[in-house]
Amino acid sequence: MLLRSGVRVTLAEKSTTYRRDFHGEILQPGGQRILDQLGVLDSASRRGARTLDGFQVLERGRVLLDIDYRRLEPPYGRLLALPQRHLLEELLAACHRLPGFTHLPGHRISALRDDRGRCTGAVFTGPAGTRTTVPARVVVAADGRFSRTRTLAGIGAGRREAFDQDIVWFTLPAPGRATGRVRIHRAAGTAVLVHDTHPDRLRVGWALPHGGWQAATAGGIAPIRDELAAAVPELADLLHRHLTGLSDLALLDVFAADAEEWVRDGLVLAGDAAHTHGPLGAQGINLALQDAATLHPVLLDALAAGRCTRERLAPFQRLRAPAAARVTRVQRLQAKAFLGTAGPAATYLRSRAAALVTRTPLGAHLTSRIAFGPVPVQVRTDLFTAAPRPTQKGARSQ
Ligand SMILES: Cc1cc2nc3c(=O)[nH]c(=O)nc-3n(C[C@H](O)[C@H](O)[C@H](O)COP(=O)(O)OP(=O)(O)OC[C@H]3O[C@@H](n4cnc5c(N)ncnc54)[C@H](O)[C@@H]3O)c2cc1C
């Protein structure tokens, strides 16, 4: 967005590839629309994606809750399981086709430049240990839930143990077994999330007590496989064939965080670096994209004024912090209702949510709020002054 508005941008990224097997990939309609407005949604999807009609919660095979995204206005009446690699490579290719872009792959941030309390750029360590200093009028820290930039700035992460469960992820090859949904299978004492993912695989998330990884894995893979097969009997054959060792599993430590400060003179924290959420309801990418779209006009305004001060950048936090806080509140309720063990409160919440969301017009409204956010965010395309150079005919974008 900044490049398209004629701003010079240096992107430093610690990794050199975008292969991230265990990272978020379900895109809500709000995020899809932003990517569409940037002209990368179709091309990223063409590399391989799965369309999902919505979320379902099942208990002993019975559908308890059905959040059907097809009730939303086309063309975004769906969830999209889009591998991050497809999306990031497409975004990067678009950046390379715009003037003013410098890419530093394999560069980790190692210091922030400071001039009497004002951030004036950053220092990066490259693959061969080389150090590169990038002077900048503003540094945007979009380096994720364990943001090094945030640490270097001495800003507290604001971590809270807001959830009772961690999630263990793995994928299974599953040709011909697509369900077209994100499903949460509830069973005695456990919950298992399953959704289709590209190419012909199922991505599975197993909820276990927060901090309970050591205890859960002490007996090796066999009891885990049995527990999962009992919870989702229709996947028993795939689990027994493909889940062969603990190394197939990846643990996600689930927590919420809200950084102590999002803006300072010359510095902004965005996405997970500013606020981290649980994976339930697939909101993290959506929020990060909406942060970017909200930040775009705020930054242009500050840059035009020649003053990227805390005051100039403050509207970003003012606009986005309520949306982030709301997602955490809703996710806590969802986690209690859909991942928690049975209890009167959880049972009550589940039945209330099921009745509301599945059948009523209010449910359609709630679905729209989950899909687009309480205050939908659009890209300010009216502020664009440059378009990416067209790709050469026959050439693959890279
Ligand atoms: C297992 C898992 C499943 C999830 N599922 C979903 C989902 O289905 N849908 C959803 O919406 N959200 C999901 N999330 C959350 C979602 O992935 C994040 O909220 C989202 O990716 C945040 O985007 P971001 O750009 O802020 O941070 P990230 O996507 O984490 O990107 C940060 C980037 O900064 C780079 N970086 C990190 N440190 C440095 C450094 N020191 N120097 C330079 N570069 C650095 C990283 O390599 C990375 O490219 C999931 C998260 C996990 C972990």
Is the confidence at residue 344, as pLDDT, over 80? no
Contact partners, residue 273, CB within 8 Å, separation at least 6: 141, 142, 143, 144, 145, 147, 149, 150, 259
**Nearest ligand 1 atom to alpha carbon 15:** 47
Choose which CATH entry (3.50.50.60, 2.30.29.30, 3.40.50.1100, 3.30.750.24) describes domain 3-160+255-383.
3.50.50.60
Among the ranges given (166-175, 314-323, 359-368), the one the predictor scored with the smallest mean pLDDT: 359-368
User: What was the pLDDT predicted at 360?
Assistant: 74
User: What was the pLDDT predicted at 189?
Assistant: 79
Q: Render pLDDT for 209-243 as a digit per residue (tens, 0 to 9).
A: 999 999 999 999 999 999 999 999 999 999 999 99
Side-chain half-sphere CA neighbours of 300 within 13 A: 18
Q: Render pLDDT for 247-289 as a digit per residue (tens, 0 to 9).
A: 999 999 999 999 999 999 999 999 999 999 988 889 999 999 9
Phi then psi for residue 216, to 5 deg, are: -70, -30
Is the confidence at residue 70, as pLDDT, over 70? yes
Under the banding of pLDDT at 50, 70 and 90, the label for residue 333 is confident
Under the banding of pLDDT at 50, 70 and 90, the label for residue 386 is very high
Residue with the nearest Cα to atom 27 of ligand 1? Answer: 144
Average pLDDT over residues 375-390: 93
CB of 251 within 6 A of ligand 1: the answer is: no
Q: Render pLDDT for 123-150 as a digit per residue (tens, 0 to 9).
A: 999 999 999 999 999 999 999 999 999 9
Distance 349 CA to ligand 1 centre (A): 30
User: What was the pLDDT predicted at 396?
Assistant: 45
Is the confidence at residue 22, as pLDDT, over 70? no
Distance 272 CA to ligand 1 centre (A): 7
DSSP 5: G
CB of 337 within 6 A of ligand 1: the answer is: no
User: What was the pLDDT predicted at 357?
Assistant: 66
Of the chain, the percentage scoring pLDDT greater than 70 comes to: 92
Is the confidence at residue 392, as pLDDT, over 80? no
Average pLDDT over residues 367-371: 89
Ligand 1 pocket test, pick from 91, 143, 204, 290 with the greatest ligand atom count within 8 Å of Cβ, gives 143
Q: Which residue has the higher pLDDT, 81 or 279?
A: 81
Residue ranges covered by each domain of the chain: 3-160+255-383
Q: Within its chain, how far is the Cα of 82 from the centroid?
A: 11
Among the ranges given (7-21, 226-240, 292-306), the one the predictor scored with the smallest mean pLDDT: 7-21
**Nearest ligand 1 atom to alpha carbon 273:** 26
CB of 22 within 6 A of ligand 1: the answer is: yes
Range list of β-strands (E), 188-271:
190-197, 201-209, 250-252, 256-258, 263-264, 267-269
Distance 319 CA to ligand 1 centre (A): 21
Ligand 1 pocket test, pick from 1, 19, 23 with the greatest ligand atom count within 8 Å of Cβ, gives 23
Q: Mean of the per-residue pLDDT values for the chain?
A: 92
User: What was the pLDDT predicted at 353?
Assistant: 66
Distance 276 CA to ligand 1 centre (A): 9
User: What was the pLDDT predicted at 281?
Assistant: 87
Report d(CA 240, CA 226) in Å as an integer: 8
Say if residue 315 is preceded by a cis peptide, omega within 30 of 0: no
Q: Render pLDDT for 209-218 as a digit per residue (tens, 0 to 9).
A: 999 999 999 9
Looking only at the bridges linking them, the beta strands covering 182-187 and 256-258 are unpaired
Alpha-carbon Rg for the chain, nearest whole angstrom, is 22
Phi then psi for residue 101, to 5 deg, are: -100, 130
Among the ranges given (18-32, 70-84, 187-201, 375-389), the one the predictor scored with the smallest mean pLDDT: 18-32
Residue with the nearest Cα to atom 15 of ligand 1? Answer: 284
Average pLDDT over residues 317-335: 93
Report d(CA 305, CA 325) in Å as an integer: 30
Average pLDDT over residues 363-381: 89
Under the banding of pLDDT at 50, 70 and 90, the label for residue 389 is confident
Contact partners, residue 237, CB within 8 Å, separation at least 6: none
Residue with the nearest Cα to atom 1 of ligand 1? Answer: 23
Distance 81 CA to ligand 1 centre (A): 15
Its sign, for the CA torsion 228, 163, 195, 355, is: positive
